[in-house]
Amino acid sequence: MEANLEGGCTCGQIRYRLIGTPLIVHACHCHWCQRETGTAHALNALYEADRVVHTAGEPELVATPSASGKGQKIARCPTCRVAVWSNYPQAGPAVRFVRVGTMDDPNHCPPDIHIFTSSKQSWVTLPPGARTVPEFYDLDAVWSAESQERRRQMRAKAQQAKSG
């Protein structure tokens, strides 16, 4: 995978650059993602917030209900309203779920894992050998060693920010 992928919204007001590779890429087949994308599944590349650099424009954070009941924040272009990334309460603002379809070349981020396949649309056939879970998974068992280390650093930073 190449470093520093770029992307943006449809009208071009929002542009972003991604530093390095994603922590993990989720294809989420839950009904909520199906409704929010209007299609079969969401495709989200997870990045630390400081690795998602806005190079043009600032998205508007729209509070949106989520399956957990805690709500999520979807970052949308203020003009064309296309969603470029979102925050979920579990991971908080530290992690941005970047919508892979908004990247200039989405081919760089195929899913590492298919989640919530229990609600997958029946016509969707997953590639042989694809990693799948009926709902969610244990991060310690699935994330690469490098991503776990980045997660550890992220937590340490968050702790520092709290105590500082």
* Site residues for Zn ion per CB under 5 A: 9, 11, 13, 28, 30, 33, 77, 79-80
Query: Quick one: 30 or 74, whose CB is closer to Zn ion?
Result: 30
CB 46 within 8 A of CB 95: yes
Shortest Cβ distance from residue 14 to Zn ion (Å)? 5
Report residue 158 as tokens.
Answer: 């968050």
Shortest Cβ distance from residue 57 to Zn ion (Å)? 7
Q: Which residues pair with 62 in a beta bridge?
A: 74
CB 73 within 8 A of CB 61: yes
Q: Strand ranges (DSSP E) for 39-89?
A: 42-48, 52-56, 60-64, 72-76, 83-87
Shortest Cβ distance from residue 145 to Zn ion (Å)? 26
Query: Quick one: 21 or 102, whose CB is closer to Zn ion?
Result: 102
Shortest Cβ distance from residue 41 to Zn ion (Å)? 8
Count of residues in the chain: 164
Place of tokens 């195929």: 110
> How many Cα atoms sit within 13 Å of 141 on the Cβ side?
6
Shortest Cβ distance from residue 161 to Zn ion (Å)? 28
State phi, psi for 163 to the nearest 5 degrees. Answer: -80, -25
